[in-house]
């Protein structure tokens, strides 16, 4: 096997990096994951994820974790309501029979990011993840990578895999191609103890999701298993707005006033999200890599997930990262290739092709989500005619 007697370093302990570590350990590979977080609990993980039959769930199955996943996912959390800006329910999936058929390719079970991360962490050998290891730089020394971390420690590896997300520090070692602004800003917030703090919204959400579209803007709301509610607004802004918006994202009143101005005519039922959100509300400008990006494969470094192909949110990000991990693990363990560079090249060719297709889809989704007929498009997406 290509990785026999070789040390593998994965930079980034998100779902993609942890999935790869699990898959490589099943093949007997010496792998470490270097994560900047101080420990598994220090940072609250984001909103819920829906795993897809042909990607995320496929990787979970190959990792031998399907039984654990079925015990962890949240039945019914994928059921949504389409509500208009004035608060009228247009479509309600909660009236339909709950789908829990894992053999159905259209079933997309929901799991919170935190539990998914814990599921993957618990599947790894002890001490696989090296916490408090924020990547600083790396250099080639005697045919290996010498990796230096911000805490002053160093490590060596024969192969480095960048799974460190949209702001990847490994990406420049692979390609000079940079992401560009996609023209969309997201404001993301979270309300703790939603049942007691915002009971009306908690009841309207009904343990699932809410989709609101109108006036070229969107508001998406999700329940979480810890009793909190995640929400985000999405709208089109020029890149200068990011620097010059003048907002204090720790100021409830200021953020609420911004929402009232930007979402003029929307119902007051949405106001409590901003009034009760934990601060700061997070500004997330959206970026995208070129559809035609390509590069020459390197013999000892590669990328997966957002580090390789960041795009506006479309439900594919984590799923693509986990599928990247699956494909990369199989190429690295293949007996049909002679060198690591050949294996990486084969992996990257397929990865970049499907990422380009997914990026195109995500850009098209971003366009219609901010169009005047977005509500009608959402109804069609959920299989309903207007």
The C-alpha atoms of residue 374 and residue 294 are separated, in whole angstroms, by 33
The C-alpha atoms of residue 326 and residue 305 are separated, in whole angstroms, by 11
Q: According to the annotation, is 43 in a ligand binding site?
A: yes
Contact present, 129 and 39 (Cβ < 8 Å): no
Q: According to the annotation, is 248 in a ligand binding site?
A: no
Contact present, 81 and 209 (Cβ < 8 Å): yes
Q: According to the annotation, is 284 in a ligand binding site?
A: no
Q: Which two tokens stand for residue 313?
A: 């949110």
- The residues, any chain, with a CB within 8 Å of residue 126's CB and separated by 6 or more, are none
The C-alpha atoms of residue 333 and residue 202 are separated, in whole angstroms, by 47
Q: According to the annotation, is 84 in a ligand binding site?
A: no
Q: Where is the binding site for NADPH, in residues?
A: 43
Q: Where is the binding site for FAD, in residues?
A: 50, 113, 306
Q: Where is the binding site, in residues?
A: 43, 50, 113, 306
């Amino acid at each position: 096997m290509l990785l026999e007697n070789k040390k593998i370093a994965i930079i980034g302990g998100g779902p993609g990096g942890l999935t790869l570590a699990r898959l490589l350990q099943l093949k007997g590979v010496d792998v470490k994951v270097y994560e900047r977080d101080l420990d598994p609990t220090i940072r609250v993980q984001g909103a819920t994820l829906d795993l897809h039959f042909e990607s995320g769930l496929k990787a979970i199955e190959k990792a031998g974790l399907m039984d654990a996943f079925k015990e962890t996912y949240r039945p019914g959390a994928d059921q949504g309501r389409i509500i208009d800006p004035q608060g009228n329910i247009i479509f309600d999936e909660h009236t339909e029979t709950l789908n829990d058929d894992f053999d159905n390719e259209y079933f997309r079970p929901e799991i919170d990011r935190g539990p998914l991360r814990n599921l993957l962490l618990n599947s790894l050998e002890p001490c696989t993840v090296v916490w408090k290891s924020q990547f600083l730089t790396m250099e080639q020394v005697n045919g290996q990578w010498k990796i230096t971390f911000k805490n002053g420690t160093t490590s060596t590896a024969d192969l480095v895999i960048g799974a460190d997300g949209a702001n990847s520090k490994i990406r420049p070692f692979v390609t000079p191609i940079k992401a560009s602004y996609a023209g969309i800003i997201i404001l993301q917030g979270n309300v703790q103890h939603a049942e007691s703090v915002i009971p009306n919204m908690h009841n309207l959400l009904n343990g699932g999701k809410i989709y609101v579209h109108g006036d070229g803007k969107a508001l998406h709301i999700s329940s979480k298993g810890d009793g909190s509610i995640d929400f985000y607004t999405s709208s089109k802004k020029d890149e200068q707005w990011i620097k010059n918006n003048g907002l204090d994202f720790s100021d409830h009143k200021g953020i609420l006033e911004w929402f009232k101005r930007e979402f003029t005519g929307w119902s007051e039922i949405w106001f409590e999200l901003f009034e009760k959100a934990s601060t700061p509300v997070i500004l997330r400008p959206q970026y995208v890599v070129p559809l035609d990006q390509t590069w020459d494969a390197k013999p000892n470094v590669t990328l997966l997930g957002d580090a390789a192909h960041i795009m506006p949110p479309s439900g594919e990000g984590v799923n693509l990262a986990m599928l990247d991990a699956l494909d990369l693990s199989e190429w690295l363990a293949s007996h049909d290739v002679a060198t690591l560079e050949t294996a990486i090249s084969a992996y990257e060719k397929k990865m970049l092709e499907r990422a380009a297709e997914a990026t195109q889809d995500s850009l098209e989704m971003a366009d219609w989500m901010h169009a005047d007929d977005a509500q009608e498009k959402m109804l069609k997406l959920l299989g309903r005619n207007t």
